[in-house]
Amino acid sequence: MRRLSTSVLAAVVASASYACSSSSSGSGGQGGDGQGSGAPSGSSSGSGDGGGAAGGGAGPALGAPESGVATYYAADGSGNCSFDPSPNDLDVAAMDDVEYAGSAVCGACVAVKGPKGSVTLRIVDRCPECERGHLDLSKEAFAKIADVSAGRVPISWQVVPCAVTGDVGYHYKDGTSQYWTAIQVRNHRLPIAKLEIQKGGGFVAVSREPYNYFVLGSGAGPGPVTVRITSADGQTLTDTLPAAASDVSAQGAGQFK
């Protein structure tokens, strides 16, 4: 259950208008579930064809300028995108419902310019009540672009490459097995457009759920799992992961340029 953000509540009292809402734990929808931290190694190679998203549609275009408004809420880094809380990195935000696009924007980075400064944020949550272009920031991030007392301010923003270090990562959701497989992509420099699993001599596109896992209802089968991910600009990486298992993380061996 989500509640109105602190800044929006202030605006309601002051002017009977409201903006976006978010829960203090970012746990609306199916996000915010716990995840493990094991990291078996995988192998990777940049290959394969590009393609569109499987399920959910596309989020905002990489590098396309947008304008809108910013509010803030008690973010902790978790939320509908099912990422772990990140108390040491609260430069995070919730995306408006339309551009959340069924979780297509999860993990993407957004450069935001406000009245008093700029900040680059990671998208970790969905704002159901936000109109297109409206970002609901953590209070800490909001303070970098405007006075917190303002509550709601005009902004310009665009999706940009994330300043990540190391290779992409993967996480098998709790409950994953060879018979039902859910994979999340982590630590990616660019938004993820598609994930495919190799089955029967070819790659099969896997649907992306609103809680930011690619779910294959029939399961990946026994043994190591070979996946191919496609970035928003069409780059691909192919990784071989350990056998599908509940709540297990795996390190890839490549990163998008």
pLDDT confidence of residue 79: 98
Q: Which residue has the tokens 């829960």?
A: 23
Nearest to 229 by CA among 175, 167, 179: 167
Phi, then psi, of 158 in degrees rounded to 5:
-160, 155
User: Cβ(10)–Cβ(146) under 8 Å?
Assistant: no
Phi, then psi, of 98 in degrees rounded to 5:
-65, -50
Nearest to 157 by CA among 145, 139, 149, 165: 145
Could you give all domains of the chain from N- to C-terminal order, each with its CATH number? 6-30+63-160 (2.40.40.10), 169-251 (2.60.40.760)
Per-residue tokens: 31: 């996000």
pLDDT confidence of residue 201: 87
What are the E-state strand segments in 98-180?
A: 109-114, 117-127, 135-138, 153-160, 169-172
CA distance 205 to 238: 13
Q: What is the DSSP letter of 70?
A: E
pLDDT confidence of residue 139: 98
pLDDT confidence of residue 5: 54
Mark the ranges of the chain whose per-residue pLDDT is less than 70: 1-57
pLDDT confidence of residue 121: 98
pLDDT confidence of residue 7: 47
pLDDT confidence of residue 58: 78
Contacts of 107 (CB under 8 A, 6+ apart): 81, 83, 122, 123, 124, 162, 185, 186, 188, 191, 192, 212
CA distance 100 to 125: 8
pLDDT confidence of residue 17: 33
Per-residue tokens: 155: 């902004």
pLDDT confidence of residue 57: 65
Beta bridge partners of 242: none
